[in-house]
Amino acid sequence: MTKTSPRNLGRNGSIIDSAPNLENLRHEVTKQVEAALRFVEEQATEEVVTFRHVEVGLQEVLFALGRALVVLFLALREQHLMGLKVFTAARAGMC
């Protein structure tokens, strides 16, 4: 079996059967930012730490943040486009 790359947007663990709302998506972004800060603070207090170790760990944390931001962007963009579609249809007398 092949291993999923940590940089893959499809690495979600389980299937969700409903669309998340924007509040939940923003909360996930905040959670990932806090995780990144926690990681940096924890690494700074370690007795023995190498820059390479921090860089590799931080890369993983930042990719998780990036995935959360991409999902939020897609949801916001869909909301925006759906609003335009409804507006355009209403103007054309289609609704």
pTM: 0.71
**3-state SS of 8-29?**
CCCCCCCCCCCCCCHHHHHHHH
| Residue 82: per-residue pLDDT | 85
Tens of pLDDT, residue by residue over 5-60, are 555 555 556 666 677 799 999 999 999 999 999 999 999 999 999 999 999 999 99
Residue 60 makes CB contacts below 8 A (sequence gap 6+) with 6
Neighbours of 68 (CB within 10 A): 20
